[in-house]
Amino acid sequence: MKKKSLILMSAGVLFISGNLYLALKDDSKAVRSSYINKWTATGKESLTKTLQAEGVVTPVEEHHVYYKDTPGGFKNFLVKEGDPVDVGSPLYEYAGDGNEAERDKLEMEKQQLVREAALIDEQIQQLEYLLSVSESATDNSIPVAGDGTSDTGGSSNSELMNVSIEKEIYDKKSEKTRIQAEIDEYDDTLNSQDSGDQLGINSEVAGTVKKINYDLNNPILTIISDNPKVEGAFTEKDLKEVQEGMEVFVKSDLVKGNVKGTLTSIASYPEQDPSVKTESRFPYEVELTDEQADLIKGTHVEVAVVTDQVVNAATVPEEAVEKTKKASYIYVLNELGKVEKRKISKGLTLDGKVEVKKGAKPGELVVKNPEAIQKAGDPFFSKLKPSILNKKTFNKEPGKEIFKSIMVGFFKR
């Protein structure tokens, strides 16, 4: 028993001593090898850079209703603040007496024009009759005067008279046309009074009554639209990153998920007079593309403006990138089992991740701690993880690949 233990101890000492010799001798591969214990696979993902801001939900439009004084005067409002209204909804009304008096006056003036038009029609008929008689007399060489009596002055006088009658008919018809146009205007006015459009009694838009001026100072009513938008203000620093047309995500504690929108306007002048002592803030507006979003007007929301975005980009951790003054590099495990130093072209850097535009493909193994590399291409070793060496792990790989890896281990090391 003692002899067997002695043999085992002697073998262990020889094994350790041999390895120490190989590791510490000059030009030993063990000395030149890099110990790499952090690997990562090149990812494939979308990177979205956003600028955060605050905003408040407001109506898309405000419509003002104005009061027009009339002889009858104001009677009362037919809505109250907060009421929903549609196009054509009654908003307020005038006192009835004044309205009716105004209408009676218009009706009387219109009827006077109608009588004038009728009188002109009679005059035109008489003139046309005289013209027909005169033309008939001219054909028989018997000129006829305006009063129907015969005229022996010759055919030239008859022709002159006919021309005079035709001119009179033309003038009467022109006057009739003018009067009829005035009658039509009176009809339009009376019809508009019936519908209330001219007096602003009915609403021209749909929405909600925001404010009523009960003292009748104009605008006496303000109606806001049902569709919401988002307003806010950017800082001077923000202006460097944002521009109109950018995609926006709006988040509210009262709504599930994000509401999409578009940055539609950025003011070119600050919301308050500029001052040396305070930073200027520039108003902006966001039009919501999700019309079904149930954002409550007046509530405050979080606004994320998408300032940069790449889709399905190859990415590596920022710590895996070795930077020099002229270029950036990563260390990739190539098909030969060696660590290869590659120059990369960087894109967007966001939240500790770097977009690799050129130099790596998604899925490639990359050294996560490049400072551990002594020299690219030299031998390296990593920490053995026995936990992954189980039957299930080997079953994932084809037998051909396992044999190939074993052969590489024997002949390359």
pLDDT in tens, 345-404: 999 888 899 999 998 888 888 888 888 777 777 766 666 666 666 666 666 666 666 666
Torsion angle of C-alpha atoms 43, 48, 49, 51, degrees rounded to 10: -150
Is residue 90's pLDDT more than 50?
yes
Torsion angle of C-alpha atoms 16, 19, 23, 26, degrees rounded to 10: 110
Distance CA 356, CA 327 (A): 13
Distance CA 263, CA 208 (A): 25
Distance CA 40, CA 320 (A): 9
- Helix, strand or coil, per DSSP, at residue 97: helix
Distance CA 231, CA 60 (A): 10
What is the bridge-based pairing of β-strands 34-35 and 380-381?
Answer: parallel
What is the share, in percent, of the chain residues with pLDDT greater than 90?
A: 34
The pLDDT of 49-59, averaged and rounded, is 94
pLDDT in tens, 148-197: 555 555 556 777 888 888 889 999 999 999 999 889 888 877 776 665 44
Structure tokens at 202: 């009915």
pLDDT in tens, 190-204: 776 665 444 557 888
Distance CA 197, CA 46 (A): 55
Torsion angle of C-alpha atoms 195, 196, 198, 199, degrees rounded to 10: 170
The phi, psi pair for 204, rounded to 5°, reads -95, -10
Which residues, other chains included, contact 281 with Cβ-Cβ below 8 Å and sequence gap of 6+?
A: 233, 234, 235, 236, 270, 271, 272
Distance CA 71, CA 35 (A): 98
What is the pLDDT, as a whole number, of residue 12? 67
What is the pLDDT, as a whole number, of residue 324? 87
The phi, psi pair for 333, rounded to 5°, reads -80, 110
Is residue 242's pLDDT more than 50?
yes
- Burial group, residue 104, by CB count within 10 angstroms (0-12, 13-18, 19+): exposed
Distance CA 324, CA 346 (A): 13
- Residue with the larger pLDDT of the pair 293 and 133: 133
Structure tokens at 319: 């710590």
Distance CA 162, CA 68 (A): 54
Q: What's the predicted TM-score (pTM) here?
A: 0.55
Confidence of residue 232 (pLDDT cuts 50, 70, 90): very high
Distance CA 156, CA 142 (A): 11
What is the pLDDT, as a whole number, of residue 155? 59
SS3 content of the chain, % helix, strand, coil (to 5): 35, 30, 35
The position carrying tokens 């110990």 is 35
Most confident of the following: 11-25, 128-142, 180-194, 370-384: 180-194
Structure tokens at 185: 């205007």
Distance CA 21, CA 398 (A): 38
Structure tokens at 258: 């994000």
Beta-carbon neighbour count of residue 199 at 10 Å? 17
Which residues, other chains included, contact 207 with Cβ-Cβ below 8 Å and sequence gap of 6+?
A: 59, 61, 63, 84, 85, 223, 224, 225, 226
Distance CA 201, CA 213 (A): 15
Distance CA 271, CA 263 (A): 17
The phi, psi pair for 263, rounded to 5°, reads -75, 105
Q: Which of 384, 410, 412, 380 is nearest to 31 (CA)?
A: 380
Q: What is the mean pLDDT of the chain?
A: 81
